[in-house]
Amino acid sequence: MNFKLIVALVSNERTEKVIEKAREMGATGATVITSGRGEGLTPHKTFFGLTLEEQVDMVLFIVEQHLSRDILEGIATIGHFETKSGSGIAMQLNIEDAVGLRTQLEAIEQEIEEQI
């Protein structure tokens, strides 16, 4: 089985919706790294020298490659990545090898069979 890593950088207010959508589309788990910050096309506003910026979460999904593009597009839609500036970004990367997925393989295989 081949896997992809989907990395989503999303505002913390949309994190749960992104995870729910990914699970709905076949992701069997997620890891969330909280309290990041980033800057896109437009710099953050400042107020008396203090930066007013929203916190960003990094959400990591390891998914089977046949499901990866649909999951990527689904989380982009629910996160408004393509329609609202500064709402987030997602990308997928190849995974050469992984361990620790044995308990999830049955669920992954079943999801793939249902989609084929």
Q: Tell me if 105 is assigned to some domain.
A: yes
Cβ atoms 56, 11 nearer than 8 A: yes
Determine how many CB atoms are found less than 10 A away from the CB of residue 25.
20
CATH number for the domain harbouring residue 83: 3.30.70.120
Tally of domains within the chain: 1
Give me the domain span that covers residue 36: 3-40+53-115
The predicted pLDDT at position 50 comes to 63
* Tens of pLDDT, residues 33-52: 998 877 666 666 666 666 65
| pLDDT tens-digit series, residues 5-43 | 999 999 888 999 999 999 999 998 999 999 887 766 666
Q: In Å, what is the CA distance from 68 to each residue of 10, 19, 89?
A: 18, 14, 15
Helical H segments across the chain, by residue range:
15-24, 65-78, 102-115
pTM (2 d.p.): 0.81
Measure the CA–CA gap between 42 and 88, rounded to whole angstroms.
13
R_g (Cα) of the chain, nearest Å:
16
